[in-house]
Amino acid sequence: MDEADRQLLRRCRVRLVRELQVASLWDVLLSRQLFTPAMIEDIQHAGSGSRSDQARQLVIDLETRGSQALPLFISCLEDTDQDALASFLRMSRQAQKQKPEAVRPPNLMPVVLGPMGLTPEDLRGKTGPLKPTPGKLSPVVLGPEQLWPAKLRPEVLRPEVPRPVDSGSGRFSDVCAREISKQNPDLAYALNADPCGHCLIINNVNFCLKSRLTARTGSNIDCEKLQRRFRLLHFTVEVKCDLKAKQMVQALVELARRDHSGLDCCVVVVLSHGCQASHRQFPGAVYGTDGCPVSIEKIVNIFNGASCPSLGGKPKLFFIQACGGEQKDHGFEVACASPEDRTSGSDPESDSAPFQEGPGPFDQPDAVSSLPTPSDILVSYSTFPGFVSWRDTKRGSWYVETLDGVFEQWAHSEDLQTLLLRVANAVSQKGIYKQIPGCFNFLRKKLFFKM
């Protein structure tokens, strides 16, 4: 699908999600070979499986299909008697293609303006620059720059700056800044490979009885959202479920030992229960299904320059959906938030577990960082260290739901750090108990995802 059709779908997404009748579309989409049976099954199980969730996912996945995906989709709408939507998309597409090109001004001849007191005869026949005379000003030449006399033309041409492009939902300045940054290797990481990197998602839902950790209902929704999101961002996604602590470490080591030389980035996502842990660089730990913790610091250091040289100088991103402790943040009173942010559709659960006490590697208080900080690493936490992270059993965690929505709307125009600021702001306004995500950012440049 070309960029114009992709932008059109993004602009029309709200109406499509509101009005699209997906139940009548499945057979037609299959017969037109617009989607495979497996893809349709994934769409049908998107989110909570509601009509709006299915419609939203169908529109998102439609962007990844071929160049004729939008015309085929319009014809599918017509075949299922959804004529109003079909006509709306067709007319919008035609109007977009018929936008007039910028009209260039006609070639103009330069006009020489001189001060009063100089007659045309005074100016006629002069080939060189006019010399100022007492009480008289030199004439000024007005006209197109390419017609100026040679001595009036600038000696050094300014470098050409990319013109801003209308991205549909992003502002002109956002897209222009993105393009300028991407063209400067000193400002932004190059994510040009396709796929641009590996993404490993560890999704721990069910824990053994001895661990005394409850099942993380709703985590599979998070996993499906992130799996789909990072595929759309051109990552090769691998999901591993219900791993014990040693299995988690083994999976991470196997990923680090792969050859990443032809790739530009690496992503690790951990969805599990968590706790506080002593640390030197990165706080917190996540639990394996056997109830044994793995520190975030250990996870990150598996991918340092010594253990994974083929990722040297490349961004390594870690997204942690787990509690940072047991404290529940009641927040403090501010201006009224929106009603939907005050309450949730169902009682949220936390991903917390007690701080580890007694013998073991986590029995010391948090230490001040004393080791050199790794570069090209970003660790995004779902909550502030020491506090719980909330998860809705029907919609998934606040953090992942918001992360997915922000990436969908803004990843085409904003860098990762700005996206995470949006996530933190949105999550902080949810619920009666409060939560705010944060990150440890040791990236050296801006990171714009490949779109």
pLDDT, tens only, 219-266: 999 999 999 999 999 999 999 999 999 999 999 999 999 999 999 999
Domain boundary pick from 77, 94, 111: 94
* Surface-to-core class of residue 355, CB atoms within 10 Å of its CB (0-12 exposed, 13-18 middle, 19+ buried): middle
Domain boundary pick from 64, 79, 94: 94
Q: Is residue 137 part of a domain?
A: no
Bridge partners (DSSP) listed for residue 266: 198, 316
Residue 34 in this model has a pLDDT that exceeds 60 = yes
Arithmetic mean of pLDDT, 371-390: 72
Q: Are strands 265-271 and 197-203 parallel, antiparallel or unpaired?
A: parallel
Residue 147 in this model has a pLDDT that exceeds 80 = no
pLDDT at 262: 94
Q: Is residue 292 part of a domain?
A: yes
Count the domains in the chain: 2
Please state which of the ranges 48-57, 180-189, 319-328, 408-417 shows the lowest mean pLDDT. Answer: 319-328
pLDDT at 48: 74
Please state which of the ranges 61-70, 111-120, 286-295 shows the lowest mean pLDDT. Answer: 111-120
Residue 122 in this model has a pLDDT that exceeds 50 = yes
Q: Verify that 268 and 396 share a domain, yes or no.
A: yes
Residue 351 in this model has a pLDDT that exceeds 60 = no
The most confident of the ranges 26-40, 131-145, 335-349, 424-438 is 26-40
* Surface-to-core class of residue 336, CB atoms within 10 Å of its CB (0-12 exposed, 13-18 middle, 19+ buried): exposed
Q: How far apart are CA 39 and CA 357, in angstroms?
A: 47
Q: Verify that 276 and 422 share a domain, yes or no.
A: yes
CATH number assigned to the domain comprising residue 87: 1.10.533.10
pLDDT at 297: 92
Q: Verify that 278 and 400 share a domain, yes or no.
A: yes
pLDDT band at 151 (very low <50, low <70, confident <90, very high): very low
Please state which of the ranges 47-61, 100-114, 150-164, 196-210 shows the lowest mean pLDDT. Answer: 150-164
Q: Verify that 417 and 284 share a domain, yes or no.
A: yes
Q: Is residue 395 part of a domain?
A: yes
pLDDT at 307: 80
Q: Verify that 284 and 395 share a domain, yes or no.
A: yes
Q: Is residue 170 part of a domain?
A: no
Q: Is residue 224 part of a domain?
A: yes
Q: Verify that 380 and 235 share a domain, yes or no.
A: yes
pLDDT at 205: 94
Catalytically annotated residues: 273, 323
Residue 329 in this model has a pLDDT that exceeds 60 = no
Arithmetic mean of pLDDT, 124-147: 53
pLDDT at 255: 96
Q: Verify that 270 and 399 share a domain, yes or no.
A: yes
Residue 102 makes CB contacts below 8 A (sequence gap 6+) with none
Report the predicted TM-score, pTM, of the whole model to 2 decimal places: 0.56
Q: Is residue 342 part of a domain?
A: no
Q: Verify that 430 and 314 share a domain, yes or no.
A: yes
Identity of residue 26: W
Residue 385 makes CB contacts below 8 A (sequence gap 6+) with 276, 283, 284, 324, 325, 438
Q: Is residue 295 part of a domain?
A: yes
What's the mean per-residue pLDDT of the chain?
76
Q: Is residue 84 part of a domain?
A: yes
Higher pLDDT pick, 340 / 24: 24
pLDDT tens-place string over residues 280-321: 788 889 999 999 999 999 999 999 877 888 999 999 999 999
Arithmetic mean of pLDDT, 369-384: 71
Q: Verify that 87 and 203 share a domain, yes or no.
A: no
Q: What is the spatial order of strands in the sheet that 396-397 belongs to?
A: 348-350, 390-392, 396-397
pLDDT at 356: 41
Domain boundary pick from 64, 94, 124: 94
Arithmetic mean of pLDDT, 1-29: 82
Residue 258 sits at the vertex; the CA angle it makes with 241 and 323, to the nearest 5 degrees, is: 40
Residue 60 in this model has a pLDDT that exceeds 90 = no
Q: Verify that 201 and 90 share a domain, yes or no.
A: no
Arithmetic mean of pLDDT, 65-72: 81
Domain span including residue 52: 3-94
pLDDT at 185: 74
Please state which of the ranges 39-53, 177-191, 381-395 shows the lowest mean pLDDT. Answer: 381-395
CATH number assigned to the domain comprising residue 296: 3.40.50.1460
